[in-house]
Amino acid sequence: MDEIPLSVLFGALLVLILLSAFFSGSETGLMTLNRYRLRHLARDGHRGAQRALRLLERPDRLIGLILLGNNFVNILASSLSTIIALRLLGEAGIAIAAGLLTLVILIFAEVAPKTLAALAPERIAFPAAFVYGPLLKLLYPLVWAVNMVANALLRLIGLRPEESTNDSLSREELRTVVLEAGAMIPKQHKSMLLNLINLEEIAVEDIMIPRNEIVGVDLSDDMETIENLLAHTHYARMPVYEESIDQVIGILHMRNVLPLLRRGELTHENLRKVLREPYFVPEGTPLTRQLLNFQHEQRRTGLVVDEYGDILGMITLEDILEEIVGEFTTDPSELTRGVVCTDDGAFLVDGTASIRELNRKLKLTLPTDGPNTLNGLILEHMETIPEPGTSLLLAGHPVEIVHIKDNVVRTAKIYPKLEGRQPSETAH
């Protein structure tokens, strides 16, 4: 070593520090790669992404290779710095060399390259993947021996490194990914994605048309009444029943009855002939499942029934799609059905109105994890039948009971949300 010029030793030391920086930075870059973007780039044919993905299939081998190389160059750098210090300063220089080398490696071979790799992982990881592939094959026996010992220690605590990691996202994690996508996803598309994620948590009874609001054809009525209903209805499909909605005999599509009306051949018997068999949906069915059921059965309308077979309401394909994309209709009367805007900015609302529909149309924040209607939410909150004039707070919205009939809140007045007040406050 005494014959080697100091310039060569300093040059070798510089190379070793650069190699240490490469190992440190590439380790951080490869480990912080976005796995979903990595798979996307690999499927698109990006060679660097494909190589990085293959390396990350067995992270224990990759980490073993990186640490093997990093420790080797760091120890070699320490030995060279000791030789240089001895030649320049004698034995007193050993401590100085150790301190300086520690500072240099910390700044230039650890902190700086790892910070760079954390900020731009792909710029570091993809080129490094071209180096690590052949290097892993070359040093595989040594890496295998090191990993065999390390993996045996990990198995003692119940970990199996050879098993691939689970990168699947939960519903809440996926919702967070969408929310943090920023400008990459337009606001409207982001809202649709969030609604689609939430669809699994919503059941058919949450958005169905309640039983008392179902518009249908009663075959016990005379033909003049039925013709008048069919001529003025704006529904494309209606249930047909006898005397009671529980006695549904079929679903009527207007396109099948219009020819009969045009030819003047509409009779009770002919009406029965154009009916389609009713389709029943059990309560509690998630909207995601019902959407698939509609597709499989080639249906657009279903009658929601409880465990006893009693009809609770009606669900349509349009109702489910509106939960994803928002309202289809542009008819102002449809947008404000059961809702009247007052001069003071409040809303007079029918107590049977759906909470989800109110939240969507009026931009409210009423809770949707309990009763489905405003009346049900008020009764659950009050735990008694309120008197007209009673005031309460629901999720920060002041609500005033206007009209009670048959133990049901028929009309309530909802004011804009008050900030800084607790939803549980109630006043009479």
Q: Which residues contact 300 (CB under 8 A, 6 or more apart)?
A: 237, 294, 316, 317, 318
Task: Look at residue 40 and tell me whether its pLDDT is greater than 50.
Answer: yes
Q: Give pLDDT tens digits for 230-282.
A: 888 888 899 999 988 989 999 999 888 888 888 888 888 999 999 999 999 99
The CATH-assigned architecture of domain 332-427 is 2-Layer Sandwich (3.30)
DSSP states along 327-355:
-----HHHHTTTEEE-TTS-EEEETTSBH
Strand partners, 401: 412
Task: Look at residue 168 and tell me whether its pLDDT is greater than 70.
Answer: no
Supply the pTM of this predicted model. Answer: 0.60
- Kindly provide the b/e burial profile for residues 313-344, where b requires at least 16 CB atoms within 10 angstroms of the residue's own CB: bbbbbebbebbbeeeeeeeeeeeeebbeeeee
pLDDT of residue 334: 44
- If pLDDT is split at 50, 70 and 90, which confidence band does 112 have? very high
Q: Give pLDDT tens digits for 61-87.
A: 898 899 999 999 999 998 888 888 888
256-259 long-range Cβ contacts below 8 angstroms, 24+ apart: 257/230
Q: Give pLDDT tens digits for 358-405.
A: 887 788 888 888 888 888 899 988 888 888 888 888 888 889 999 998
State the Cα angle at 176 between 173 and 181, rounded to 5°. Answer: 130
Over residues 289-296, the mean pLDDT reads 93
All structural domains of the chain with their residue ranges = 6-155, 202-325, 332-427
Q: Residues for the chain: how many in total?
A: 428
Q: Which helix (H) or strand (E) holds 359?
A: helix 355-362
148-157, 165-174, 392-401, 412-421: which range is least confident on average? 165-174
- If pLDDT is split at 50, 70 and 90, which confidence band does 166 have? low
Higher pLDDT, 300 or 170: 300
For residue 118, what are its two tokens?
Answer: 């954390």
CB atoms within 10 A of CB 420: 5
Q: Which helix (H) or strand (E) holds 200?
A: none
The CATH number that domain 202-325 falls under is: 3.10.580.10
For residue 294, what are its two tokens?
Answer: 């509609």
